[in-house]
Structure 1
Amino acid sequence: MDLKGKKVFVTGAEGFIGSHLTEKLVEMGANVTALVQYNSFNNWGWIDTFDKKILDNINVITGDIREYDNMKRAIKGQDVVFHLAALIAIPYSYLSPMAYVRTNVEGTTNVLEACRDYDVEKIVHTSTSETYGTALYVPIDEKHPLQGQSPYSASKIGADKIAESYYRSFNLPVATIRPFNTYGPRQSARAVIPTIISQILSGKTQIKLGSLTPTRDFNYVKDTAEAFIKIAESENTVGEVINAGSNYEISIGETVKKIITILGKEIDIVSDDERVRPEKSEVNRLWADNSKIKKLTSWEPQYTLDEGLRETVEWIRNNMHYFKTDIYNV
């Protein structure tokens, strides 16, 4: 499928990955409608920061995926739907589990049902590597068991299974992308990499983190956005769950060392109990097997971790006003 000229709808377009994907789609020549969550301030999130040439080519609408009628109106006439809208912060899911069920499970059902009503040509539903929980074997392929180690991951497992059921029950042309640990410009300090960088750039010589031993498979956001597009374009991805990862594992502690080297600082690291997940909830190891996405599409990562970290450091350096480094961002 060629996305140029297609009517493309993006939920969660104002967010971290969604904003990068939306920009890329506009640059490709897609006719993009961006859904941002309704708020009385008419705040469009990261879309508000877009270059005017990009912004002038986006139809921005406000709404809420938790409302079916809203989704039905918004999706009517669309050819392709990228569904990224979700509650994603793991710590907050401990405080408000039901909010995650309503948004991630019920909201996804509303999006899929609207797509079914209007015979959308392709839907790309967003999962997460957190659905795998701590690796039972590595690298993690798509056959790895799913483990609900947090209310967030459990809600995403539910959403993924709803998407699977719509493919199997109604032949809905949905593909599920399962990104591993995306990072880069526009990511909030709820995530570990911007937390590290922003604390150091604020002048702190002692930074607060959770556990340093878990490993992650980090992926630069531009690579992740490209994976969404390749999965949408491929005719081989319908009905499939597909990892988008680098096939490279690194601990949080080693990641901190890389960032410290890039910034040329001497930093002490303090373990902050508030940032440590409950013992049975911590995902200790993530490492993606990305052979399936390479087989089904032409995608593979273009950025090394060092390259992506350097770009992220420069973006955060120029945008420190977005970060409140004295507050733990749940």
Structure 2
Amino acid sequence: MQILVTGGAGFIGSNLAERLLSEGHHVVVLDNLDPYYDLGIKEHNLSACSKASSNRFEFVEGSTTDEELVEDVVATHDIDVIFQEASKAGVRTSVEQPKDYNESNINGIVNVLEAAADQDVKRVVNASSSSVYGVPEYLPYDEDHPNYPKSPYAVTKLAAEHYCNVYDDLRGVPTVNLRYFTVYGPRMRPNMAISNFVSRCLNDEPPIIYGDGEQTRDFTYIDDVVEANLVLLETDAADGETMNIGSNDNISIRELAEYVVDETGADVDIIHDEAKDADARHTHADVSKAEELIDYEPSTDIREGVSRFIDWYEANREWYEPLVRNS
């Protein structure tokens, strides 16, 4: 198939693009190389895609906010399916720059959906976020849980979902919204709890927890996220739907930090800093809907996944660590 992965130089997008290439598909990555973190990581991500298949891979530098570019890429490459991974990341940063997030995350998805409608794309799979839930009325979150977004980032993600639903209903563009729950794994972006904890512990520095550490997260391993997306190439069972993609488990940030300390053998004491605005207190996914519609079954629990990430980090430390610590 001819597949467009927007945001394909990023963590999730590049892992997805690389797997699609290994499956024999032709992949176009559209990415604006936003320097939200060190671009050296994105350059390595693109290199991994090129190594997977140089003759079935193309990189286009540009933004989904460029309407003419998006239309041209979709039309000239005769795109079958679009994986919309492009998004301005960062819950905390969005509080300071709400207009930038609105421009990138809302205008971007509208341009993608317009191009999909004009060119009869078979499906648009939109990367959404557990942040749309906000304050929990109950846990685990199912898809019927009310939405109380606590940051501009979360608002843009929820708006993007609604745009997908509208284009599905009014323009006949098959769309699926996948609500990711804190994705982690090889090549993950540096300013996340797991990458920070591992980096600091491997350098005999104490992990820093923001707040009391009792907040909990449903961490989802990258391979499980990629598998959920790949299934949507083969089935229309989820068209028009919104689904949680999580691990079906959660862990406190304190427990996570303690586990990283133990696994790395660091002789350090955990330290605490002031809690950050807009961070969710708890997340936990009910993935039964995804199980029913696409046979989604998360295969990697947090401890196994963190151990894998530590092994990967150590094997790739020469290039990855300087970029993590500079971001």
Q: TM-score, normalised by structure 2?
A: 0.91
Contact 2:5 2:30 in 1 (8 A): yes
Could you tell me which of 304, 307, 312 is aligned with 1:307? 304
- Mapped to 2, the partners of 1:302 and 1:156 lie a distance apart of 26
- CA drift of 1:56 comes to 3.9
Q: What SS does the corresponding residue of 1:267 show, helix, strand or coil?
A: coil
In structure 2, distance between residues paired with 1:229 and 1:326: 29
Counterpart in the other structure of 2:15: 20
Q: Name the residue aligned to 2:58.
A: 59
Structure 1 position 209, deviation (Å):
2.5
Q: CA deviation at 1:62?
A: 1.5
Distance verdict in 2 for CA 1:34–1:51, change over 3 Å: closer
Which of 276, 287, 291 is the equivalent residue of 1:294? Answer: 291
Report the counterpart of residue 47 of structure 2 in structure 1: 48
| Cα pair 2:209 2:253 within 8 Å, conserved | no
Structure 1 residue 317 corresponds to structure 2 residue 318: no
Aligned to 1:96: 97
Q: Which residue of 2 aligns with 1:7?
A: 2
In the alignment, the residues of structure 1 paired with residue 133 and residue 233 of structure 2 have an alpha-carbon distance, to the nearest angstrom, of: 23
Aligned: 1:245 with 2:246 = yes
Change (3 A) 1:16 1:179: same
- Tell me which residue corresponds to 2:73: 74
Q: How does 1:150-299 map to 2 (within 5 A)?
A: 150-204=151-205, 206-211=206-211, 212-273=213-274, 276-278=275-277, 281-299=278-296
CA shift in 2, pair 1:62/1:144, >3 Å: same
Distance 1:162 1:50, change over 3 A: closer
Does the 8 A contact of 1:234 with 1:296 survive in 2? Answer: no
Aligned position for 1:134? 135
Query: Are the counterparts in 2 of residues 219 and 305 from structure 1 also a CA contact under 8 Å?
Result: yes
Tell me, what secondary structure is at the counterpart of 1:88? coil
Is contact 2:202–2:266 with CA below 8 Å preserved after alignment? no
Q: Which amino acid aligns with 1:97?
A: P
Q: 2:263 corresponds to which letter in structure 1?
A: I
CA distance in 2, matches of 1:73, 1:39: 21
Unaligned runs of at least 5 residues, structure 1: 1-5
Task: Please give the per-residue CA displacement for 1:100-159, whole angstroms capped at 9, x wherever unaligned.
Answer: 000000111111111011010111011000111132111111111111201111111111
Superposed displacement of residue 217, structure 1: 0.7
Which range moved further: 14-23 or 226-235? 226-235
Q: Quick one: structure 1 residues 131 and 305, their matched pair in 2 at CA, closer, same or farther if it must change by over 3 Å?
A: same
Superimposed CA distance per residue, residues 54-81 of structure 1 (whole angstroms, 9 cap, x where no aligned partner): 3443122221101100100011110110
Aligned residue identity for 1:65: T
Q: Deviation at 1:304?
A: 2.3
Q: Is the 8 A contact 1:142 1:242 kept in 2?
A: yes
Q: Secondary structure at the match of 1:127?
A: strand
Contact 1:181 1:217 in 2 (8 A): yes
Q: What amino acid maps onto 2:31 in structure 1?
A: V
**Count, aligned residues:** 319
Determine the structure 2 residue equivalent to 1:3.
none
Q: Which amino acid aligns with 1:265?
A: A
Unaligned runs of 5+ in 2: none
TM-score (norm 1): 0.91
Partner SS, residue 153 of structure 2: helix
SS in 2 for 1:242: strand
Distance 1:64 1:325 in 2: 23
Please tell me the residue identity of whatever aligns with 2:64.
I
Q: Deviations over 1:141-186 (max 9, x none)?
A: 1111111201111111111111111112212101111111111111
Query: Are the equivalent residues in 2 in contact too, given 1:47–1:55 (CA < 8 A)?
Result: no
Structure 2 counterparts to residues 27-38 of structure 1, below 5 A: 27-37=22-32
Letter in 2 for 1:295: E
Give the CA deviation at 1:33.
Answer: 1.2
> Does the 8 A contact of 1:202 with 1:325 survive in 2?
no
TM-align CA RMSD: 2.2
